[in-house]
Chains A and B, each alone.
Chain A
Amino acid sequence: MFIAAIGGYAWNVRAARKLHEQGRRLVATSEYHGLYSLLVVLIPAQLLVLLWIVLQGPLIDYLQLKALPQAVPLEKGAQQLLLSEIKSIAGGRIFGTPEDWMLAAAERQTRLNKYGEWALIAVVLALVLSLLVYCRARVSIAFHARRRAEKIVYLVLMTCSIVAILTTIGIIASLLVETGRFLSHVPVTEFLFGLNWEPQIPIREDQVAAQGAFGWIPVLLGTLTITAVALFIAVPVGLMSAIYLNEFASGPMRAISKPILEILAGVPTVVYGFFAVLVVTPAIRDLGDMLGVVVSHNTALAAGGVMGIMLIPFISSFADDALSAVPQDLRNGSLALGATRAETVLQVVFPAAVPGIVGGVLLAVSRAIGETMIVVMAAGLIAKLTINPLDSVTTITVQIMTLLIGDTSFDNPKTLAAFALGMMLFGVTLAINVLALRIVHKYRELYD
């Protein structure tokens, strides 16, 4: 395909050159005639191959199911199982002694796959060749190859940016669909206002143990507790270090400190999670023993504290940006009136920077709510209706992870509950982000 495209390029370039050598003036240079051919051949062929790859699997599955003997069960899950078994036989991995019709199906699978491959090659070849001939025929003096090629490039670029929108649409669509299915099992009022979160569902019909309760309030409370602990550490420390680095520190100090803070920001969250389990939780428990306070094994203090450490550079960098954006004139004016540096910072610079700082803190809140690995490793699993940070609490993200890790099928409320929680998480963080970005944005326009 690529070779054909490059061949098309060369072919058209030569054709255009020949015209040129005959002493005629072309409206486009020969390179653009070549580029036009390259794009026209390559893009449709690529799209076709992609589409083919996506569609071939389901199509073969469909054909297989139609060809199976009537006696085979037709339930959806069983079908999937059957198909994968046929595929593994076709791939040469045979377990036990499969029945005859299965062997036949496996043979058919191999045959269909082979047909598919050949058909793909044939179709792509035909397409490429016809496009090549078409492009070659377009080469003429009056043909605006550059304009056409640029039009195609423009469309390609536009498609790229559409992908970003598609991602958002994909997120919203997938969350909405699965949440809708969840709400068909669990009434919406129970989910939003229920005070119990016990997402165990009975495996057998007659099981008494767990009925399953899906009220997200305790999970939300846990999330907010941990977020509060994190901010309690991150906001003062991050803010003070930004003020110090921006207003008091010497040049070299600043030059050394900022990269170090950036390292702290670049540490993956799974590392922080391990740090919480390895160092912080035992330390807090020892401290609790010393003071005679009962500290739960998965105390919210550990997860929140480590999350606070993670957020320090985040808040500090936002506050730093906000402080640097305050015009120097304001500082000079205040200093000229005889204010000390501290007074200048507290009474002039800081108030001017507050909107930017608030925006940064809000983004930090959204980060803390959405943070996953630290809490998965260091926080608890059981949802309790408490805001005591010494207790073990759980968070939205922890619940999503525990509900979805392992083998899951998409048809029980337990799995779907994770998507409902994801929907709430997405909604909350999106609202905070939009608010924060708007505050930051509005503030920036003030001094520009």
Chain B
Amino acid sequence: MTPVPPTSLATISHGLRRRNRTQFLIKTLGLAAVSLAFLTLLVLVGSLVSSGFHALTQTHIELAVHVDPKTIDKQKLPRGNFRDILQEALIEHLPPIDDRRLHRTAARLLSRGGEFELRDRVVANPALIGRIVLLKVPVSDPYDQLNKGLISRQTPEEFRRLSDQEIAWFDHLQANNVISRPINIGLLVNADSRFPEQAGLRGALVGSFWALLVCFMISFPLGIGAGIYLEEFAPRNRLSDVIEVNINNLAAVPSVVFGLLALAVFIGWFGLPRSAPVVGGLTLALMTMPTIIIATRAALKAVPPSIREAALAVGASPQQVVFGHALPLAMPGILTGTIIGMAQALGETAPLLLIGMNAFITSAPASPFDSATSLPTQIFIWADSPERGFVSRTSAAILVLLTFLISMNALAIILRQKFQKKW
């Protein structure tokens, strides 16, 4: 048989098959790329949740503490050896231990700091001395990990953080029903601590709040003012061009450079206090301002000229047009941009580290001038801490931060949907 001479149709259909294959390939690659992005997000959130949910509960032990008048003197409050009576109470719950030296080992089950809760209660109500107080205190980190199954009992003893004896004690306590695992409220209401079981985010939340408040108070009026000026009043000359290029560039300057600026100018030259939320807020304000300016300009630009012209036609001055008509119509857009800018500011870490907001502080700041940490710097501190318990705390803190960010962004989206007008 002679080979069939290729017709033009055959050439085309052969070529078409090849071309469709290319098309399929491109499309698949694209889909793969999108899926990869989603997958990483999923892995990111998944790993944070799977490690963070351990920190949502905290193992506690309930002890009946006899507040011994011999150890605790009413006259000497708030001093007194509260740790000892707490230890006594624990030993009584354990099977008898002959060796006195083992008492110290056993006492490591209690979190250091549990005695402060007892002390505060006794100081608030000295009548408790001589009576028996029911007290729920957190257990220390290794036991917490054991209870959550993060320390495996199968590991040989020498590689484990808890000895067989210690695990036996814990099991004994568990059998006596004094161990519980309530929701970890301390994560939100406690301040920072060296001990994972005591550490909480209160100081960081308050610090972030102050910093964001300062940031908002400065960047919002300044940003809107500058935006209005540049969009509505600035003469078209070299200076305006310089300002414009400058603002676009400021928005892209690395955040760590703003940190250097704050360190040199605010702290070095002006002598403002280190680690203070007010300095953090000022720095964040400088970083947020370009965002707000750009949002303001975009929102003002979106107001249709017919509205301006109508106002001008009935005799309004240019400023009356802006403040009476254009600005109110642009406000939803400006607010959306502001909220997004504030969300960015909330997640900003590097400049705050440079101005020293990574200090170890065990109380929440009372004013913006006190030393404090912020939510992201607290995450950084905890991520750097060697104790195992901080791994899940860090994840939990990140989840808290992400919750704030997502709600802020959701608010911005709702605002945009609700007030967006098509002209």
Whether B225 contacts A146 by the Cβ 8 Å rule is no
Minimum Cβ distance to chain B for residue A375 (Å): 10
Q: Contact mask A258-288 → B, CB, 8 Å, 1/0?
A: 0011111011111111110111000000000
A267–B401 Cα distance when bound, in Å, is 9
Whether A373 contacts B249 by the Cβ 8 Å rule is no
On chain B, the residues within 8 Å of A340 by CB distance are 19-20, 22-23
On chain A, the residues within 8 Å of B226 by CB distance are 157, 160-161, 163-164
Once A345-B26, A372-B349 are accepted as A-B contacts, the answer to whether A434 and B249 lie under 8 Å apart by CB is yes
A159–B248 Cα distance when bound, in Å, is 18
- Closest residue of chain A to B286 (Cβ to Cβ) is A167
A146–B319 Cα distance when bound, in Å, is 10
Tell me the chain B residues, 334-377 only, with Cβ under 8 Å from chain A: 343-344, 346-350, 353-354, 358, 376
How many residues on the B side are at the interface (Cβ–Cβ under 8 A)?
89
Tell me the chain A residues, 215-247 only, with Cβ under 8 Å from chain B: 236-241, 243-245
Q: Tell whether A410 is near chain B: CB-to-CB under 8 Å.
A: yes
A84–B48 Cα distance when bound, in Å, is 44
- Closest residue of chain A to B377 (Cβ to Cβ) is A270
On chain B, the residues within 8 Å of A363 by CB distance are 252
On chain B, the residues within 8 Å of A346 by CB distance are 26
On chain A, the residues within 8 Å of B38 by CB distance are 257, 260
A377–B289 Cα distance when bound, in Å, is 28
Once A167-B250, A237-B33, A370-B256 are accepted as A-B contacts, the answer to whether A161 and B243 lie under 8 Å apart by CB is yes
Q: Tell whether B146 is near chain A: CB-to-CB under 8 Å.
A: no
Minimum Cβ distance to chain B for residue A27 (Å): 13
A397–B317 Cα distance when bound, in Å, is 50
A381–B259 Cα distance when bound, in Å, is 20
Q: Tell whether B30 is near chain A: CB-to-CB under 8 Å.
A: yes
Q: Which of A15-23, A202-210, A417-425 makes up part of the contact surface? A: A417-425
A244–B24 Cα distance when bound, in Å, is 11
Whether A161 contacts B44 by the Cβ 8 Å rule is no
**Which of B26, B34, B346, B401 is the one whose CB lies under 8 Å from A257?**
B34
Whether B347 contacts A268 by the Cβ 8 Å rule is yes
Tell me the chain A residues, 159-174 only, with Cβ under 8 Å from chain B: 159-165, 167-168, 170-171, 174
Q: Tell whether B222 is near chain A: CB-to-CB under 8 Å.
A: yes
Q: Which of B59-67, B77-85, B196-204, B229-237 makes up part of the contact surface? A: B229-237
Q: Which of B102-110, B127-135, B260-268 makes up part of the contact surface? A: B260-268
Q: Contact mask A402-431 → B, CB, 8 Å, 1/0?
A: 001100001000000011001001100110
Whether A240 contacts B33 by the Cβ 8 Å rule is yes
Whether B379 contacts A271 by the Cβ 8 Å rule is yes
Minimum Cβ distance to chain A for residue B92 (Å): 41
Whether A342 contacts B268 by the Cβ 8 Å rule is no
Q: Tell whether B95 is near chain A: CB-to-CB under 8 Å.
A: no
Minimum Cβ distance to chain A for residue B196 (Å): 16
Whether A161 contacts B250 by the Cβ 8 Å rule is no
- Closest residue of chain A to B376 (Cβ to Cβ) is A270
- Closest residue of chain A to B289 (Cβ to Cβ) is A164
Q: Tell whether B302 is near chain A: CB-to-CB under 8 Å.
A: no
Minimum Cβ distance to chain B for residue A415 (Å): 9
**Which of B221, B270, B349 is the one whose CB lies under 8 Å from A160?**
B221
Whether A270 contacts B347 by the Cβ 8 Å rule is yes
A430–B47 Cα distance when bound, in Å, is 36
Q: Tell whether A121 is near chain B: CB-to-CB under 8 Å.
A: no
Q: Tell whether A446 is near chain B: CB-to-CB under 8 Å.
A: no
**Residue among A168, A261, A400, A429 having the largest count of chain B Cβ atoms under 10 Å:** A168
Whether B30 contacts A240 by the Cβ 8 Å rule is yes
Whether B33 contacts A236 by the Cβ 8 Å rule is yes
Q: Which of A88-96, A148-156, A289-297, A382-390 makes up part of the contact surface? A: A148-156
**Residue among B19, B34, B263, B346 having the largest count of chain A Cβ atoms under 10 Å:** B34
Minimum Cβ distance to chain A for residue B161 (Å): 19
Whether B37 contacts A397 by the Cβ 8 Å rule is no
On chain A, the residues within 8 Å of B307 by CB distance are none
**Which of B222, B290, B354, B383 is the one whose CB lies under 8 Å from A274?**
B383
On chain A, the residues within 8 Å of B259 by CB distance are 404
- Closest residue of chain A to B348 (Cβ to Cβ) is A268
Q: Tell whether B87 is near chain A: CB-to-CB under 8 Å.
A: no
On chain A, the residues within 8 Å of B248 by CB distance are 433, 437
Whether B23 contacts A341 by the Cβ 8 Å rule is yes
On chain A, the residues within 8 Å of B243 by CB distance are 161-162, 164-165
Q: Tell whether A5 is near chain B: CB-to-CB under 8 Å.
A: no
Q: Tell whether A369 is near chain B: CB-to-CB under 8 Å.
A: yes
Whether A275 contacts B22 by the Cβ 8 Å rule is no
On chain B, the residues within 8 Å of A118 by CB distance are none
Minimum Cβ distance to chain A for residue B347 (Å): 3
Whether B260 contacts A267 by the Cβ 8 Å rule is no
Whether A342 contacts B26 by the Cβ 8 Å rule is yes
- Closest residue of chain B to A261 (Cβ to Cβ) is B37
**Residue among B33, B289, B343, B409 having the largest count of chain A Cβ atoms under 10 Å:** B33
Whether B37 contacts A271 by the Cβ 8 Å rule is no
Whether A397 contacts B401 by the Cβ 8 Å rule is no
On chain B, the residues within 8 Å of A278 by CB distance are 47, 51, 391, 395
A244–B31 Cα distance when bound, in Å, is 6
On chain B, the residues within 8 Å of A273 by CB distance are 380, 383
Once A264-B41, A268-B348, A271-B401 are accepted as A-B contacts, the answer to whether A377 and B264 lie under 8 Å apart by CB is no
Q: Contact mask B238-273 → A, CB, 8 Å, 1/0?
A: 000011011111101111111111011100111100
Minimum Cβ distance to chain B for residue A283 (Å): 10
Whether A400 contacts B252 by the Cβ 8 Å rule is no
Minimum Cβ distance to chain B for residue A441 (Å): 9
Minimum Cβ distance to chain A for residue B45 (Å): 9
- Closest residue of chain A to B24 (Cβ to Cβ) is A342
On chain A, the residues within 8 Å of B19 by CB distance are 340, 342-343
On chain B, the residues within 8 Å of A397 by CB distance are 254, 256, 350
Q: Tell whether B310 is near chain A: CB-to-CB under 8 Å.
A: no
A372–B348 Cα distance when bound, in Å, is 10
A274–B376 Cα distance when bound, in Å, is 11
Whether B256 contacts A372 by the Cβ 8 Å rule is yes
Q: Tell whether A366 is near chain B: CB-to-CB under 8 Å.
A: yes
Whether A57 contacts B405 by the Cβ 8 Å rule is no
On chain A, the residues within 8 Å of B268 by CB distance are 174, 410
On chain B, the residues within 8 Å of A316 by CB distance are 37
A241–B319 Cα distance when bound, in Å, is 45
Tell me the chain B residues, 1-60 only, with Cβ under 8 Å from chain A: 19-20, 22-23, 25-27, 29-34, 36-38, 40-41, 43-44, 47-48, 51
Could you tell me which B residues sit within 8 Å of A by CB distance? Answer: 19-20, 22-23, 25-27, 29-34, 36-38, 40-41, 43-44, 47-48, 51, 221-226, 228-230, 233-234, 242-243, 245-250, 252-261, 263-265, 268-271, 286, 289-290, 293, 317, 319, 343-344, 346-350, 353-354, 358, 376, 379-380, 383-384, 391, 394-395, 398, 401-402, 405-406, 409
Given A171-B253, A270-B347, A371-B254, list of 20 further CB < 8 A pairs? Answer: A154-B229, A167-B286, A171-B257, A174-B261, A238-B33, A244-B30, A249-B34, A266-B347, A270-B376, A271-B379, A342-B27, A343-B23, A367-B252, A373-B350, A377-B383, A400-B256, A400-B260, A401-B350, A405-B358, A425-B254
Pairs across A and B, CB under 8 Å, 23 listed:
A157-B233, A158-B233, A165-B242, A167-B286, A167-B289, A174-B269, A243-B26, A248-B30, A248-B31, A257-B34, A264-B41, A266-B344, A268-B348, A268-B405, A270-B349, A271-B347, A340-B23, A372-B254, A410-B268, A418-B260, A422-B260, A426-B254, A430-B253
Closest 10 interchain pairs by CB? A370-B254, A244-B30, A268-B347, A160-B225, A240-B33, A174-B264, A161-B226, A342-B23, A372-B350, A157-B229
